[in-house]
Amino acid sequence: MFDLLQWLLPKAERFPRVHRHTVTLRLMNAALDCQEAVFAAQSTRGQRRQDALQDADAALNRLRLYLRLAHRWRWLNDGQYAHVGEQVAEVGKLLGGWIRQSRS
């Protein structure tokens, strides 16, 4: 997640200024919310961990939406979108595995 943030946040700062307080802010918040929820899950157990993992998953889904929009609006080129898509997919796999493991 840290690598994703490190790559994404500087890119998002270059998105069009007119959308800085709407889509760009939501994209950055979704990415940061996901990281914060992962931190919360690491420090808790039981139902609180499950809730934090579900929050992380929801934030990751919001991030996917905003990234698709950024690509559609050509704020991210095909190569950048492919790169960030791979990072998001990897985070999703890890998060999904953690969710399944913590349910058992």
The residue ranges of every structural domain in the chain are 2-9+27-103
Report which DSSP code applies to 45: -
Considering the domain 2-9+27-103 in this protein, what is its CATH number? 1.20.1440.60
What is residue 77's three-state secondary structure?
coil
Mean pLDDT, the chain, as a whole number? 96
Alpha helices (runs of H) in the chain, residue ranges in sequence order: 2-12, 23-42, 46-72, 78-103
pTM for the full predicted model: 0.93
CA pair distance 40, 74, nearest whole angstrom: 34
Output phi, psi for 44, to 5 deg: -130, 175
Report which DSSP code applies to 17: G
Using 50, 70 and 90 to split pLDDT, how confident is the model at 99?
Answer: very high
